[in-house]
Amino acid sequence: MRLVLLGPPGAGKGTQGVLLAERYGIPQISTGDILRDHVQRGTRLGIQARSYMDRGEYVPDGVVVSMVMDRLEEPDADHGFILDGFPRTVAQAEALERALEETEEPLTAVLKFSVGGELAVRRLLGRYTCPTCGRTYHMEFKPPAEDEVCDVCGSTLERRADDDELTARRRLAVYREQASPLERFYAERDLLHQIDAEALPDEVVDRTMGVLEALP
Ligand code: AP5
């Protein structure tokens, strides 16, 4: 299974990616997570990426493409992968297509999770993440048992630097600028499947499984 997850910030790509990765035993590769790891470690790539991420803008294609190509060469991606947040531009999609042509292992499907803008903002503003184990919570939709404490490892939960309202809305606007050509790219290849993601996570997984099980 080689999947791409598309959708606006807050659509639930990360949430669905984790659940699908567990179900299929393949890695979820989140470009946002990889970039945040570089930022936290203060690598050259992280320093370069940070200014874009803090503004809610996309990191330049060249940086992201080579980062993903390196990640896809790791052995755990040999039997499939779930790309969460990549590609986001047609240039990234073309680079991925060329790389997969070389291995003769094309994408299985591209899943686009759809949510309205105001619900997406509500999801982003309420999100908390565990800095230790990476689990994601939501103050309204998936609260931890104890306020701002991870249920699993007990760490203090954090908010993402780009989840303030101004940056969240900028991220949504940037997404809207790039989304149509990217979706057209995959629709022309008969790979694009749209999933209504305005439901609880388990219901969205069921909808996703319905799409995947119906694939030829
Ligand atoms: P990234 O980290 O990928 O952020 P994003 O695309 O903005 O998406 P999010 O992670 O915010 O949302 P999500 O859809 O994963 O939602 P989640 O499941 O967490 O990228 C960050 C930045 O990195 C970008 O802005 C850019 O600068 C850079 N970048 C990354 N990739 C790049 C690329 N390819 N090219 C260039 N730049 C790149 O859910 C959100 C919240 O809602 C959570 O609290 C969750 O618990 C809750 N929730 C999820 N699903 C549901 C549901 N069904 N019902 C109720 N609550 C739900």
Locate all alpha helices (DSSP H) within 114-164, ordered by sequence. 117-125
Structure tokens at 19: 């659940």
Give the model's pLDDT for residue 164. Answer: 96
CA of 14 to the centre of ligand 1 (A): 6
Assessment of whether the complete model's pTM goes beyond 0.85: yes
User: What pLDDT digit, counting tens, does each position of 97-122 carry?
Assistant: 999 999 889 999 999 999 999 999 99
Percent of the chain with pLDDT over 70: 100
Q: Is any atom of ligand 1 closer than 6 Å to the C-beta of 178?
A: no
Q: Is residue 135 scored above 90 in pLDDT?
A: yes
CA distance 51 to 44: 12
Instruction: Summarize pLDDT for 3-17 with one digit per residue, the tens.
Output: 999 999 999 999 999
Confidence of residue 150 (pLDDT cuts 50, 70, 90): very high
Ligand 1 atom closest to residue 52's alpha carbon, by position in its atom list: 27
Mutate to test the pocket of ligand 1, among 16, 35, 48, 204 (most ligand atoms within 8 A of CB): 35
Contact predicate 50/159, CB 8 Å: no
Residue 215, φ and ψ in degrees, nearest 5: -65, 145
The domains found in the chain, sorted by start residue, are 2-115+172-201 (3.40.50.300)
What is the distance between the alpha carbons of residues 105 and 169, in angstroms, rounded to a whole number? 36
Tell me if residue 13 is catalytic: yes
* AA identity, residue 54: D
Both structure tokens of 98: 């060329």
Per-residue pLDDT tens over the stretch 51-80: 999 999 999 999 999 999 999 999 999 999
Q: What's the pLDDT band for 81 if we cut at 50, 70, 90?
A: very high
CA of 33 to the centre of ligand 1 (A): 9
Nearest CA to ligand 1 atom 1: 32
Catalytic (active site) residue 71: no
Angle CA(45)–CA(138)–CA(129) in degrees, nearest 5? 30
Residue 41 annotated in active site: no
Residue 155: is its pLDDT beyond 90? yes
Enter the tokens of residue 208.
């996703």
Tell me which of 122, 142, 159, 160 is the catalytic residue: 160
Predicted confidence at residue 32, as pLDDT, reads 96
Pocket probe mutation, ligand 1, options 18, 59, 114, max atoms within 8 Å of Cβ: 59
- Determine which residue's CA is closest to atom 48 belonging to ligand 1: 12
Closest CA to 6 of 189, 178, 125: 178
The pLDDT of residue 28:
97
- Report whether the peptide linkage leading into residue 201 is cis, meaning its omega lies within 30 degrees of zero: no
Average of per-residue pLDDT across 162-173? 97
Position 216 scores a pLDDT of 85
Separation of CA 32 and ligand 1 centre (Å): 8
Any ligand 1 atom below 6 A from CB of 136: yes
